[in-house]
Structure formats: structure tokens, C-alpha cells
């Protein structure tokens, strides 16, 4: 089997920097040979680091070839078109979350992936976030007993790097499919699913404190899991300063795990009878380190035919959860996630 693969970056914006750094973490296993973006300046910046050929469109890159896989990092409403083009060209695909803006588009992508028979990964990097994975290991080992409940808090002050286009797509509901819940909020939903199992239904409310954002910039929701347990999810994006705080708290019959809010590496602490004041039980590696692990998993699936840590079908869960929250905000009732 080949030792490395060539990949095309489809979209060279802010998240591409994290993907490229993640690839660097694993040496030469993945080579970026095409940098594709209608903003040629962004594509050239990636090419300057990688030696990739610059393209303004996926169509022109597919005509030239020179890569076996594509890494799609574009506005959500473009996912279906670009993913299906890639599958029709028999490429392996890693697609940034969410799968799509709606379930019909997601189903179209899934069907194209099955027809192609190539590797398809939905890039939800929380699956590989070191602190999240360590917490799952501790929970599975029973160090806090049986999980009773959990809380996820996704509060962020506005960061310009995620909105740096002339017309920021994240401000447009038509491009995102919603607001912060369907976008960055998915990174906070996935850990709850990893730790507590599948979500059955949700009830939630949304708000719009960031007036420039068409979709919601505030969400409060309760998740009911299939085993009957509950967790809460809170999300906020706002232009005013906010205080640092914990991002996750998992409470069990014998203690708690807490992950502090810090993208560079939040402290994972355990509170139990042995450590009533809390003890740090993990390295502070953080969100950026998850991307290398994620892309290495994708490369292993392509090069070595190993199973992915999370299937595309499982990765529909964050989209389905977000859409259920939106329905609940309209209906005022509990809404099923998987029906």
C-alpha cells in the first residue's frame, strides 16, 4: 500500500490553517498538491507553504488531477455540490462539518459517497480533541461512576478571523443553515454524544444578540438521551467581552470531570473523594491538536483501509441535533432528533 496520499484543499480560508498545521504534525503522510479558492490570494498562501498548484475552481483542478483526495472547507451551502463532484470523480473526501445545511442535501452527499465507494469522513474534530478523548477514557473506566448529567457551554467573544471575507458567509443564514448551533456549536454537541450516547430529543430556545448575524447567536437547550438522561447545551457569540469559564462539566455518581475553556488547551480536572479540590488529569493540548489526529485517521482509512473513528452516518447527529433545536424554538415543544 502507498505510504502517502495527495490531497486538494477546496477552500483556503481560516480553517485551512488548522488543517495544514495538522498535516504538518504527521510529516509527509499527506501532501497538499492543489490549493483551490476563488480568492486566489488565499490559495496562493497555501501554495507558498506546500508547493501546491493554485486553482480558482474545483472543476479545473479535477480536470488536471494530481490528487486522490479532497479536503472540502467551504461555506455549508456549497457542501453538496462540491462533495458530489468529488465523489463523481472517484475521490476520497473529508468534508468539514456540518454535512450540509439540511437533511435532503446530506442524503444526496451520502448517496454519492456510497455510489463512489471511496472514503468519506465528516470532519468533526472534537472526536479527536485530546481533552475530550481523555475524558471519554476516564468515563469509560468508571472513574466518576455512572454519568448522571453533563453541561456544555460554548460562549465566545467575536473573533474576526472567522468573519474576514468582504461579505462574511457566517453572517448569512442561507450559507450556514442557521447560526452558531449548526456551526461551531457542533464541537460542543459531539463530546456529549461521545460521553453519554445518542440524543433522543431536544427542547430549546434561540436568540439574536449579534444583530449582524442572520442566524442565531444565542442558544439554550436541554438534550434528552436515549437512556433517559439529560444534559444542557448553551451557546453564545457576542461582540462584547465575556469572562473565561468551563466548557464542559460531566457529573457522575462518584465525582465530576471539568474541562476549562481554552482553545490552546483547557485543563481537564477530576473532582472526587480522593481529589475534592480537583486534580489536573490531562495534558493541555487543546483544539488545534485535534486536526492532525483527525486527518491522520482519514489518511489511515485511505491508505490502510482502517475504519474511521466516526462514520458519516454517526456524524449526521450534530446536524440533526441543530435542526431539532431550531424546530423546537419554533414549536415550543420537545423535538425528536432521529425521526
CA dist 55 and 63 (Å) reads 11
Nearest by Cα to 133 from 274, 289, 314:
289
**Sign, CA torsion 101/72/16/39:** negative
pLDDT of residue 264: 66
> What percent of the chain is predicted at pLDDT more than 70?
96
- The residues near 46 (Cβ < 8 Å, ≥ 6 apart) are 9, 12, 16, 20, 32, 35, 37, 52
pLDDT of residue 161: 65
pLDDT of residue 3: 86
How do residues 22-59 score in pLDDT, each as one tens digit? 999 887 799 999 999 999 999 999 999 999 999 999 99
CA dist 103 and 100 (Å) reads 7
Burial of 52 per CB tally in 10 Å (0-12, 13-18, 19+): buried
How do residues 188-222 score in pLDDT, each as one tens digit? 999 999 999 999 999 999 999 998 899 999 999 99
Whole-angstrom CA distances from 94 to 54, 185, 205 are 19, 19, 32
Q: Between helices 186-196 and 316-331, what is the axis angle to 10°?
A: 110
CA dist 164 and 170 (Å) reads 10
pLDDT of residue 275: 94
CA dist 97 and 182 (Å) reads 9
CA dist 324 and 338 (Å) reads 9
What average pLDDT is seen over the chain?
94
CA dist 294 and 261 (Å) reads 21
Question: Do 171 and 214 contact (CB within 8 A), yes or no?
Answer: yes
pLDDT of residue 266: 76
How do residues 113-141 score in pLDDT, each as one tens digit? 999 999 999 999 999 999 999 999 999 99
Amino acid at each position: 500500500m502507498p505510504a502517502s496520499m495527495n490531497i486538494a484543499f477546496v477552500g483556503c480560508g481560516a480553517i485551512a490553517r488548522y488543517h495544514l498545521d495538522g498535516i504538518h504534525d504527521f510529516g509527509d503522510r499527506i501532501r497538499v498538491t492543489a490549493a483551490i479558492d476563488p480568492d486566489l490570494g488565499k490559495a496562493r498562501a497555501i501554495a507558498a507553504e506546500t508547493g501546491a498548484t493554485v486553482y480558482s475552481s474545483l472543476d479545473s483542478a479535477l480536470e488536471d488531477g494530481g490528487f486522490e483526495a479532497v479536503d472540502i472547507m467551504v461555506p455549508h451551502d456549497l457542501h453538496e455540490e462540491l462533495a458530489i463532484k468529488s465523489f463523481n470523480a472517484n475521490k476520497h473526501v473529508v468534508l468539514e462539518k456540518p454535512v450540509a445545511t439540511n437533511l435532503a442535501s446530506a442524503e444526496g452527499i451520502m448517496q454519492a459517497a456510497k455510489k463512489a465507494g471511496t472514503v468519506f469522513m465528516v470532519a468533526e474534530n472534537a472526536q479527536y480533541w485530546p481533552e475530550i478523548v481523555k475524558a471519554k477514557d476516564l468515563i469509560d473506566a468508571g472513574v466518576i461512576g455512572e454519568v448522571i448529567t453533563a453541561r456544555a457551554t460554548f460562549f465566545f467573544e467575536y473573533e474576526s478571523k472567522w468573519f474576514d471575507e468582504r461579505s462574511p458567509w457566517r453572517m448569512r443564514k442561507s450559507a450556514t443553515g442557521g447560526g452558531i448551533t449548526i456551526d461551531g456549536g457542533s464541537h460542543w454537541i459531539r463530546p456529549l454524544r461521545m460521553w453519554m450516547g445518542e440524543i433522543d430529543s431536544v427542547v430549546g430556545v434561540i436568540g439574536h444578540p449579534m444583530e449582524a448575524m442572520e442566524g442565531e447567536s444565542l442558544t439554550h437547550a436541554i438534550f434528552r438521551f436515549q437512556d433517559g438522561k439529560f444534559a444542557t447545551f448553551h451557546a453564545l457569540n457576542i461582540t462584547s467581552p465575556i469572562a473565561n469559564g468551563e466548557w464542559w462539566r460531566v457529573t457522575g455518581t462518584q465525582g465530576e470531570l471539568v474541562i476549562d475553556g481554552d482553545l490552546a488547551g483547557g485543563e481537564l480536572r477530576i473532582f472526587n473523594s480522593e481529589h475534592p479540590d480537583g486534580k489536573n488529569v490531562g495534558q493541555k493540548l487543546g483544539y488545534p491538536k485535534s486536526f492532525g489526529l483527525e486527518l491522520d485517521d482519514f489518511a489511515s482509512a485511505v491508505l490502510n483501509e482502517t475504519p474511521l473513528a466516526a462514520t458519516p452516518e454517526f456524524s449526521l447527529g450534530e446536524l440533526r441535533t441543530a435542526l431539532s433545536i431550531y424546530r423546537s424554538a419554533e414549536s415550543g415543544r420537545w423535538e425528536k432528533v432521529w425521526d
